[in-house]
Structure 1
């Protein structure tokens, strides 16, 4: 067995074990909150299992960076404790090369996290929303409040009525110009999704002119293609998770309920989040050079603290970007860049 294969197997095994433990803990905590509701809906153990299955991708995505940190600390700690790193360095293998040979294990999980975030989780989230709404007892369904959202230059207020999201009632549309000034208000009895577009039923128009308001009406008219029934279901249920596809659509003039900075940051985060797995590996790599007979456990604690601090900084920068207080590019990539540099600097210092 070659050294790269040995390191990949060692790192990969420890990372997978840590991932399984972390996902298991998150799954248990999640089920503690919803199991009673699932059983009250007479869905039984099968419903609990189905819910857990649909939630699994999101939990794996959340746990991936911590799994790399924990698994790498265990793996590098074992190498240092067994004096394997000392033997490798005596043959000319530097700590840089050891880290590079261990990198593929973290890169595989980073690629899996990217795949889940871009493809798998959005589909399972949508399936879970439809299943959860369909299984809600009629007596427990709350009256749907009006929802407010934007589509391009239009601000829309309407009441979702159809469970599948295919119709709206009491529709009010406020159209603005590029400067944000109101230029037209449209009211309609209803809006119905038909084919690939929405149609307004009995719309009435009030157009603001320079010195007068022009009024008009129609029996029906085409409205927009930028809105889907799935968007309406999401709004009606009050869900807050935004997928990269939804963020891209919002930036292109589709449905949005938050400032543009929020969607810019979410789109950048979709690509930056998997990089966190590689950053965690770099932060854990110095443990391979620890001398556990001479206080090396302190280095392990420092690397663990650096990994947890990375998560704090990453969340803080993301919040700044979502609120518009920092550019989206900086908010998404600042923490990975800073802590990756910290990990590399620590390796250079310890390598001497």
Structure 2
């Protein structure tokens, strides 16, 4: 049986590779077309757009992971079914449940590999690509003044950072302080800031305005100390899109948001979606089993792949709708993010079990 397990596993991995080879060029081309809208002769160049697309390719691989698992599983097991090899395996005593278990182990290995790719390759590369893109567009005067700005609130302070130079040096800092009746008490503007230890910043070229019983006072300072409200959060992480953050970055940022009393649901959902992606991948590889055994005498593998693609698209769209509705309606985050994947996994296990009992 171990020889058959290795044979099935090898074919499943070949199926994954074939599905990736089919899907990635298509989505990479679509990503490049999207980048071409921002290409200009004096700013964001075509060569940079191509570089950015290739830097976001690992992220695309991770996002398409469950889809690749479904199509790859259908291609691999469907081919074995079309050549009657699955029939021969079952004649030797290999059950459908055992075939599904072997395919699931291959899917688990793939899911773990994608999780590692997401954490240590896809996220850093995508972030570097975004930085390259933003710097090129800023050089071409395509960016607005608010691009890359950061807003934060803690107690009676609201802070805005205009931008980050080299991903860590804040510029154009505005600090608003309010009293209990929400009246503006003071306003601080600093051109730049030096980040020091223990959350201390040194504000440079500072203008301070204060209001006391209707009287306004203005002060101009070369330097001014300020205890940052950003705590342990990394400013470079705060300015990044949610989907580009790794699980560790999301965890740190969620802790910062909760510590400062700010809403964190969007980032919690993003983190749990990452953790739920392996479950969805396992569900998709199990869904390939019914496609392989539903019509064992049919050689039409293309029809099965087309149906599988439709199922995968429906799962992806439904999952996005559920997540967005959960965020909008403030539903339980674990149920919203992990619930659909667990339900699909349970349905896939039931379907495989039903096929196994019906074949006896």
TM normalised by structure 2 equals 0.79
CA RMSD after TM alignment: 3.8
Question: Structure 2 residue aligned with 1:291, among 271, 292, 295?
Answer: 295
Separation in structure 2 between the aligned mates of residue 106 and residue 317 of structure 1, nearest angstrom: 24
Separation in structure 2 between the aligned mates of residue 143 and residue 348 of structure 1, nearest angstrom: 57
- Please, which moves more after superposition, 112-121 or 162-171? 162-171
Separation in structure 1 between the aligned mates of residue 92 and residue 212 of structure 2, nearest angstrom: 81
Question: Structure 1 residue aligned with 2:354, among 332, 349, 352?
Answer: 349
Q: 1:22 to 1:154 in 2, by over 3 A?
A: farther
- Please, which moves more after superposition, 221-230 or 341-350? 221-230
- Please, which moves more after superposition, 244-253 or 342-351? 244-253
Residue 263 of structure 1: CA displacement? 1.9
Give the match for residue 56 of structure 2.
55
Q: 1:349 to 1:109 in 2, by over 3 A?
A: same
Residue 187 of structure 1: CA displacement? 2.1
Question: Structure 1 residue aligned with 2:344, among 319, 333, 339?
Answer: 339
Q: 1:124 to 1:202 in 2, by over 3 A?
A: same
- Please, which moves more after superposition, 327-336 or 158-167? 158-167
Mapping of residues 106-117 of structure 1, within 5 Å? 106-117=107-118
Mapping of residues 1-352 of structure 1, within 5 Å? 2-35=3-36, 37-38=38-39, 40-41=41-42, 46-136=47-137, 138-145=139-146, 147=149, 149-153=151-155, 156-158=158-160, 160=162, 163-164=165-166, 166-169=169-172, 171-174=174-177, 186-190=186-190, 192-196=193-197, 197=199, 198-200=201-203, 201=206, 220-224=224-228, 225-231=231-237, 234=240, 239=241, 241=243, 243=245, 244-254=247-257, 259-293=263-297, 305-351=310-356, 352=358
Q: 1:221 to 1:283 in 2, by over 3 A?
A: same
Number of corresponding residues: 341
Q: Give CA-to-partner distance per residue, 1:285-320, whole Å, 9 cap, x none.
A: 112323344799888776555443322332222213
Higher relative contact order, structure no. (Cα contacts within 8 Å, ≥ 6 residues apart)? 2
Q: Give CA-to-partner distance per residue, 1:100-152, whole Å, 9 cap, x none.
A: 11223222221122123222222112211222233236452444138462255
Residue 216 of structure 1: CA displacement? 12
Q: Give CA-to-partner distance per residue, 1:179-226, whole Å, 9 cap, x none.
A: xx8698552121513335433445567799xxx99x999962232244
Separation in structure 1 between the aligned mates of residue 86 and residue 117 of structure 2, nearest angstrom: 34
Separation in structure 2 between the aligned mates of residue 53 and residue 117 of structure 1, nearest angstrom: 15
SS in 2 for 1:326: coil
Would the aligned equivalents of 2:43 and 2:140 in 1 still touch at CA under 8 Å? no
- Please, which moves more after superposition, 112-121 or 2-11? 112-121
Would the aligned equivalents of 1:41 and 1:137 in 2 still touch at CA under 8 Å? no
Separation in structure 1 between the aligned mates of residue 156 and residue 110 of structure 2, nearest angstrom: 41
Q: Which runs of 5+ in 2 are unaligned?
A: none
Would the aligned equivalents of 1:68 and 1:277 in 2 still touch at CA under 8 Å? yes
Q: 1:222 to 1:111 in 2, by over 3 A?
A: same
- Please, which moves more after superposition, 321-330 or 222-231? 222-231
Would the aligned equivalents of 2:257 and 2:264 in 1 still touch at CA under 8 Å? no
Separation in structure 1 between the aligned mates of residue 156 and residue 249 of structure 2, nearest angstrom: 17
- Please, which moves more after superposition, 122-131 or 92-101? 122-131
Q: 1:128 to 1:185 in 2, by over 3 A?
A: farther
Separation in structure 2 between the aligned mates of residue 229 and residue 265 of structure 1, nearest angstrom: 21
SS in 1 for 2:64: helix
Q: Which runs of 5+ in 1 are unaligned?
A: none
Would the aligned equivalents of 1:310 and 1:335 in 2 still touch at CA under 8 Å? no
Q: 1:32 to 1:173 in 2, by over 3 A?
A: same
